[in-house]
Amino acid sequence: MSNSISPGRFEFLPPVVKNIVIINGLCYLGTYVLKTSLGVNLIDVLGMHIPGSKAFAFWQPLTHLFMHGNLEHLLFNMFSFWMFGSILENVWGSSRFLIFYLVAGIGAAFLHYLVVFLKDIRPESLRIEDLNLNIIGASGAVAGIWIAFAFMFPNSYLYLFFFLPVKAKYLAMMYIAFELFAAFEANPADNVAHFAHLGGMFFGFAMVRWFRRVDTNWG
């Protein structure tokens, strides 16, 4: 495991991070322009509905990663994505980082809906095709990026609440514990897909381990 961040050539805004931030910004703008001018609900079209429902489309596992419900949601995700994603892209390269981002994001949605299916859907009372469940946002992929960063640079210090230095590995433990608690607390007022965050973490961690195995075998 690395204890510090020291890529050979560091780009402040590497290409994949830059383009994904731009796409997210354009999608957010387009959501409001199309809804206001044409009455088109882009979140309904590009957000990910549960597979098997009438509203599900094959592109949604990818496009839901670029949709956000409000400006706060967008800014928080994009800031976290840039902060940690830039480091990973500089270390891994653009192609590997893009693969990682997509796998973590799609994996996050997969786990979320798997839990929904196993926990909430009763075949005798609910039909999947009639459900209108919809998830949006890059939060699951960002959670995967954060866990990957903490795994690769466990002893790097980050500032909790902007003033308390804590090692990344301890913050990762706290983050996982919080998401597990929030996921199983089942607060009806909580509109956050916590199992998607956990899914992003799981697939992100699995991808980091796989990358290391591939690099070791090739080396």
The CATH number covering residue 133 comes to 1.20.1540.10
Q: What is the pLDDT of residue 7?
A: 46
User: From CA 93, how far away is CA 109, in angstroms rounded?
Assistant: 25
203 in any annotated domain: yes
What are the pLDDT digits (tens) for 98-147? Answer: 999 999 999 999 999 998 888 766 555 566 766 678 999 999 999 999 99
54 φ/ψ angles, rounded to the nearest 5 degrees: -65, -25
What are the pLDDT digits (tens) for 83-94? Answer: 999 999 999 999
Report the pLDDT averaged over residues 151-178.
90
Q: What is the pLDDT of residue 1?
A: 47
What are the pLDDT digits (tens) for 179-200? Answer: 999 988 866 566 788 999 999 9
7 in any annotated domain: no
177 in any annotated domain: yes
3-state secondary structure of 49: strand
Going from the C-alpha of 54 to that of each of 102, 110, 127, 133, the distances in angstroms are 24, 18, 10, 11
Q: What is the pLDDT of residue 4?
A: 47
4 in any annotated domain: no
> Is 50 exceeded by the pLDDT of residue 6?
no
CA atoms within 13 Å, Cβ hemisphere of 13: 7
6 in any annotated domain: no
Domain extent, residue 140, equals 15-218
Q: What is the pLDDT of residue 189?
A: 62
- Candidates 107, 6, 19; CA nearest to 66 is 19
Number of domains observed in the structure of the chain: 1
33 in any annotated domain: yes
In this prediction the pTM is 0.88
What are the pLDDT digits (tens) for 17-43? Answer: 999 999 999 999 999 999 888 889 999
5 in any annotated domain: no
41 in any annotated domain: yes
Q: What angle do CA 122, 125, 128 make, to 5 degrees?
A: 65
